[in-house]
């Protein structure tokens, strides 16, 4: 098996897509004083992939108030002493009701977690998208091997010759490094070929689902933006301590930043000021609610890949990233048998809605050569936990480092 070789055959736009629980009652349960927290510090536990079953995967009918709150929790949760008070004001409800509804949405597995979102690249982690060709009869065996690495945050089965698609990151001081890690994983998983697809330009990464708008809203275009900086940014031991204390599930409390401040032995005011500084330096992207897509009604995700001439990549990438229903937009390498340089992720309440968003992208840019890959199985989806012992433990166990 050679990492980075092998043919990739494009799939037609009709590639396979995947898709209970009772509807929400009029009342919602009272907010608990604290939600379950991961172990903190260097020995933080590994994040647990979500369950995949009909019981845990079916969409839950939501009230309009909850849809409005979900939109706000994804994009307007501030770095402030009482963030729920701020969100509640925007939603036209009081703080206590906002927390009760968020607690209900967590209990029903619509919100996965409320958490800070740190920037992997800015922290110096090496990361990339990887497409692997594994045994199509037993892909779950390869997926189990891949999932064991703590830096694998997403892993999907897609209807393609390269059938296992995952994202992986390694620590800044990893002795094995990203290339060496992929060699080990490919051998363990029995992959016959692996295609490395690192990010060359990042035009957009913002996973927030439009809960109130229709297909037209998802296909609407906003102002185009420039590519995002990918270089490592400076950080110190205090930044690492803050990340360790705050990453993972934040409690549903009037002052959810207070427990981390207490753990760090600093005032909440100082912690909030430091978080603002981390955001300005690019280490922290935002603090937000992360949703279970299918539970929130978004049953389909399509990876639209586009053949774009090199001289048009910057122009077209900016246009693609401006479409509301596109959560991710990257430039990645092309190969003789893989001519698609721009990758976009569309999320919709159906495959048809994803197709409509991607069709709109094609109309806006004038790019017609596209393939769309839909996921048929989600093997893993987590947020990375940074600066833990899990990475070094994996290397020690799997590569003798």
**Domain spans in the chain, listed from the N-terminal domain onward:** 47-115+237-294
Per-residue pLDDT of the chain (401 residues; tens, 9 = 90+): 555 443 333 333 333 333 333 334 334 434 333 333 334 344 443 444 443 433 445 677 888 999 999 999 998 999 999 999 999 999 999 999 999 999 999 999 999 999 999 999 999 999 999 999 999 999 999 999 999 999 999 999 998 889 999 999 999 999 999 999 999 999 999 999 999 999 999 998 765 655 545 455 545 455 556 666 668 999 999 999 999 999 999 999 999 999 999 999 999 999 999 999 999 999 999 999 988 877 877 777 889 999 999 999 999 999 999 888 898 999 999 988 789 999 999 888 888 888 999 999 999 999 999 999 988 899 998 989 999 999 999 999 997 65
pTM: 0.79
- Per-residue pLDDT at 10: 36
Read off the tokens for 365. Answer: 């840019």
The pLDDT assigned to 209 comes to 56
108 within 8 A of 295, measured Cβ to Cβ: yes
The CA distance from 34 to 48, in Å, is 19
What CA–CA distance (Å, rounded) separates 211 from 348?
10
Q: What is the separation of C-alpha 320 from the centre of its chain, rounded to a whole number of angstroms?
A: 18
- Catalytically annotated residue among 154, 293, 328, 347: 154
Cα distances (angstroms) measured from residue 353 to each of 216, 221, 346, 359: 9, 15, 9, 10
Contact 313, 145 (CB under 8 A): no
293 in active site = no
Q: Residue 177: left if φ>0, alpha if ψ -120 to 50, beta else—which one?
A: left
47-115+237-294 is a CATH 1.10.10.2890 domain: yes
And the tokens for 124?
Answer: 């110096």
Distance, in Å, from the CA atom of 376 to the CA atom of 374, rounded to the nearest integer, reads 6
Contact 17, 302 (CB under 8 A): yes
Instruction: State the helix-helix crossing angle for 64-75 and 83-91, rounded to 10 degrees.
Output: 130
């Amino acid at each position: 098996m050679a990492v980075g070789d092998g043919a990739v055959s494009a799939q037609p736009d009709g590639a396979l897509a995947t898709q209970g629980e009772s509807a929400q009652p009029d009342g919602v349960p009272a907010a608990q004083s604290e939600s379950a927290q991961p172990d903190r510090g260097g020995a933080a536990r590994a994040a647990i992939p979500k369950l995949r079953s009909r019981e845990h995967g079916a969409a839950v009918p939501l009230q309009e108030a909850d849809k409005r709150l979900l939109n706000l929790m994804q994009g307007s949760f501030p770095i402030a002493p009482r963030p729920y008070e701020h969100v509640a004001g925007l939603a036209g409800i009081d703080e206590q009701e906002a927390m009760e509804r968020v607690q209900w949405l967590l209990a029903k597995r619509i919100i996965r977690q409320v958490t800070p979102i740190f920037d992997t690249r800015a922290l110096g982690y090496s990361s990339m998208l990887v497409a692997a060709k594994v045994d199509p009869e037993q892909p779950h065996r390869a997926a189990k091997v891949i999932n064991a690495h703590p830096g694998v945050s997403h892993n999907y089965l897609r209807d393609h010759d390269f059938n296992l698609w995952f994202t992986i990151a390694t620590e800044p001081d990893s002795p094995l490094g990203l290339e060496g890690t992929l060699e080990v994983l490919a051998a363990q998983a029995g992959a016959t070929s692996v295609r490395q697809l690192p990010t060359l330009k990042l035009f957009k990464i913002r996973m927030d689902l439009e809960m109130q708008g229709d297909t037209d809203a998802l296909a609407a275009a906003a102002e185009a933006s420039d590519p995002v900086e990918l270089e490592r940014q400076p950080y110190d031991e205090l930044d690492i301590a803050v990340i360790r204390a705050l990453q993972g599930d934040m409690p549903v409390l009037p002052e959810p930043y207070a427990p981390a401040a207490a753990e760090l032995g600093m005032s909440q005011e100082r912690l909030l000021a430091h978080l603002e500084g981390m955001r300005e330096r690019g280490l922290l992207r935002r603090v937000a609610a992360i949703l279970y897509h299918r539970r929130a009604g978004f049953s389909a995700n399509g990876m639209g890949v586009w053949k774009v001439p090199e001289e048009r990549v910057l122009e077209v990438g900016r246009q693609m990233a401006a479409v509301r229903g596109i959560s991710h937009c990257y430039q990645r390498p092309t190969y003789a048998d893989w001519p698609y340089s721009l990758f976009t992720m569309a999320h919709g309440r159906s495959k048809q809605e994803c197709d409509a968003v991607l069709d709109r992208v094609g109309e806006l840019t004038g790019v017609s050569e596209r393939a769309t890959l839909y996921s048929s199985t989600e093997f893993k989806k987590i947020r990375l936990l940074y600066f833990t012992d899990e990475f070094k433990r994996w290397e020690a166990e799997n590569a003798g480092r």
